[in-house]
Copies of this chain bind each other. A is one copy, B any other.
Amino acid sequence: MKASTLANLLETHRPGYSLDQIFYTDAGVFAAEWEYIWKRYWLFAGTTAEIPKPCDYFTYSVQNDSVIIIRGDKGEVFAHYNTCRHRGSLICLDESGHAPKLMCPYHQWVYNKDGSLFKARLMPDDFDKTSFGLHPVHVRVANGFIFISLAQDPPDFTKVLNDYEPFLKPFRIDKARVAFKKRYTIRTNWKLVAENFRECYHCGPAHPEYCNAVVGANLRESSDEVLAERKVEWRKKGLATETVDFENDSFHFAVRYPLRPGVQSYSLDGKNVCIPMGDHRDFDAGVLGLVVYPNFWMDAVSDYMWTMRVTAVSPSETVIDLAWLVDGKAEAGKDYDVDRLTTFWKITGEQDWALCENNFKGIESSRYSPGPYAPPELEVARFVDWYLDRMREGLHESVSI
């Protein structure tokens, strides 16, 4: 896509309305998003709970890049491009594993966990091993949440680390147990998922289970009173309650909001589904909600944490990876039942995938025209503004070069 074409598209957007079709369906726009957003910002990869021991690793594939995330001997986290410096083969073939050294399966070049080349057999004597380490990927760990960036010079992550610390510390993610993971591949644009998860205009009719758990989600009742009450209690227990607002020049937010009185957890019957997680001592932490654009969503209640990693594959395809984390000491079958733990978000998530797929199909119509956001969709409009600004920014910088 020509820079002038994209610039024109960005200029003609009508504020307060949904985006033009081309932003959801066009391969050229998608390529620009990839450069200006996905390869510039921080992507949630997974949690340290998935790689508890040194030499544990997992891989994360974004577009054509497979990234190895591996624990060092001191608990540190390294990230490398999963492509051998010899002839380019994938090194780690599995989505997760344990490897004291990283050995390429093709010609057995061997790398250390920090990415440096350990051994390349039969190479000439003058071969300079130090020039052939694995290409590094930036990595940051926010209380157990691992974020990577494919950028050369990624944006500062300090504010996210600081803002999230008080919210996340009590969950003790580094010691948590990954109780279940599930992958969905859905036919929709990634931004429609992002939009869906920023408004509850659809919740009343679409999510009866969610509305049973969360006060006010149906937009037919106020949650103000309950929230005020709970905040007092939460503060007494030392739980963070100060909302981290999403600002146009940031890319994250955090909020704690109340469950319906008497509801202990995200579950179909409102009762807890596991023992309290980490430092929590009861089932009264409400819901902690986090978002880091473009690919991370998380909701945590007192007894479990649900992470959503969104990966854009093409304009029309998005992969959703869900994980359920519980306290590290919790035992399956005793302290939690996997079905009971996961049912609530499977049901709610699958309702959303269908909405997002139908939204995309309708947008593909030659007669789709952007429509006005309703007042309860304010945060969607803010996301769209953020998105457009990032695109303008990226375009501006790339044209300047």
B206 lies within 8 A of A366 (CB): no
Residues in B whose Cβ lies below 8 Å from that of A206: 105-106
Within A54-111, the residues touching B (CB, 8 Å) are 63-66, 81-91, 93, 105-108
Contacting chain B: which of A174-182, A260-268, A323-331, A367-375?
A: A367-375
A106 lies within 8 A of B65 (CB): no
A365 at the interface (CB under 8 A from B): yes
Contacting chain B: which of A222-230, A247-255, A300-308, A355-363?
A: A355-363
Distance in angstroms between the alpha carbons of A88 and B122 in the assembled complex: 55
How far is the CB of A85 from the nearest CB of chain B, in Å?
5
A90 lies within 8 A of B127 (CB): no
Q: Which residue of chain B has its CB nearest to the CB of A25?
A: B64
Query: How many chain A residues touch B (Cβ–Cβ < 8 Å)?
Result: 55
Distance in angstroms between the alpha carbons of A167 and B303 in the assembled complex: 72
Within A3-60, the residues touching B (CB, 8 Å) are 18
Take A201-B107, A202-B106, A375-B122 as given contacts and tell me if A18 and B87 are in contact as well, using a CB distance cutoff of 8 Å. Answer: yes
B361 lies within 8 A of A122 (CB): no
Nearest first, the 3 A-B pairs at minimum CB distance are A64-B364, A83-B362, A88-B363
B122 lies within 8 A of A362 (CB): no
Residues in B whose Cβ lies below 8 Å from that of A401: none
B369 lies within 8 A of A106 (CB): no
A18 lies within 8 A of B88 (CB): yes
B82 lies within 8 A of A376 (CB): no
